Amino acid sequence: MNTGILRLALEEDIGSGDVTTSACVPAYRRASGIFLAREDLVLAGLELLSEIYELRGGVESLEMLKNDGDLVRDGDVVARVVGSARTLLECERVALNFLQRLSGVATLARRFADAVRGTSCKVLDTRKTTPGLRDLEKRAAAAGGVTNHRKGLYDAILIKNNHIAAAGGVTQALAGALGLGLTVEIEVRTEAELREALAAGARQLLLDNLTPAQAHDWIGIVGGRATVELSGNITLDTVRAYAETGADFVSSGSITHSARAVDLSFRLTLLND
């Protein structure tokens, strides 16, 4: 499934050949290597290692010592590999780039999920992903404990403010969307739009850029007639307050667009020739 993006990453890094490794390391050399957590983190992307190595001819053995979604501690070994020293060195940076990026998403997702623990509210990710990495980043977010929102523009209907403007209004936008057999969610920006959407048959609402107090009041108007998602500048510092408003969901683009790459390293040991 991920062969294209992995091949692109390897080609980008190796190009016409790893000149340093070719110059320094004999082709017959064998080595073992470990992937090591250098901080506490939630792991994601580990399953990509086997495909990365296969794209460069494979390895003798690859042992996964942890699983995606695991909380690992500083100093934990998450995987062990044995094979050609050249192959391990060629793949090192690409493997770490994916592991560090995706584990960063999973780690931040876990912090969001933990922040709302004990409420009835679920945290959603968004489409604010790195181009080409959406599937991987959404899987990483899920590994961290949040719920995936729609994958793209094709699998669910989300009517936002620009759609409403282009359709000519809330009622008109909903009239074209309801009855198509897809999930339909609509963003409303005013109390008048909120009431209009409910009257027009909306059953999933997106309330954007409200304070927690405003969100609580608007959810009271909804009165259980529709599910409610809150979005807009929701951070780790504020997500609990939004979750306690009675919302069914809160969403945050920061889970994917602002996750910090976490610290994992690769350590190679030469085996006897």
What range defines the domain where residue 128 resides? 118-257
Domain identity same for 193 and 66: no
Domain count, the chain: 2
Domain identity same for 90 and 208: no
Q: Note if 127 is an active site residue.
A: no
Q: Note if 187 is an active site residue.
A: yes
Sign of CA dihedral 71, 72, 77, 82: positive
Domain identity same for 29 and 147: no
**Which is catalytic among the residues 93, 127, 134, 195?**
93
Q: Note if 76 is an active site residue.
A: no
Q: CA angle at residue 159 from 113 to 168, to 5 degrees?
A: 155
**Which is catalytic among the residues 127, 128, 195, 203?**
128
**Which is catalytic among the residues 127, 134, 160, 189?**
160
pTM: 0.95
Q: Which has the closest alpha carbon to 90: 1, 4, 3, 27?
A: 27
**Which is catalytic among the residues 68, 185, 187, 248?**
187
- The CATH number covering residue 168 comes to 3.20.20.70
Domain identity same for 107 and 12: yes
Tokens standing for 208?
Answer: 């954007």
What mean pLDDT value characterizes the chain? 97
Q: Which has the closest alpha carbon to 129: 42, 252, 3?
A: 252
Domain identity same for 49 and 137: no
Percentage with pLDDT > 70 across the chain: 99
Mean pLDDT confidence for 180-204: 96
Q: How far apart are CA 94 and CA 64, in angstroms?
A: 17
Domain identity same for 18 and 51: yes
Mean pLDDT confidence for 260-269: 98
pLDDT of residue 272: 77
Asked if the model's pLDDT at residue 8 lies above 80, the reply is: yes
Domain identity same for 141 and 31: no
pLDDT 10s digits, 206-235? 999 999 999 999 999 999 999 999 999 899
pLDDT 10s digits, 30-39? 999 999 999 9
Burial state string for 248-265 with b = 16 or more CB within 10 A and e = fewer than 16 = bbbbbbbbbeebeebbbe
Domain identity same for 128 and 253: yes
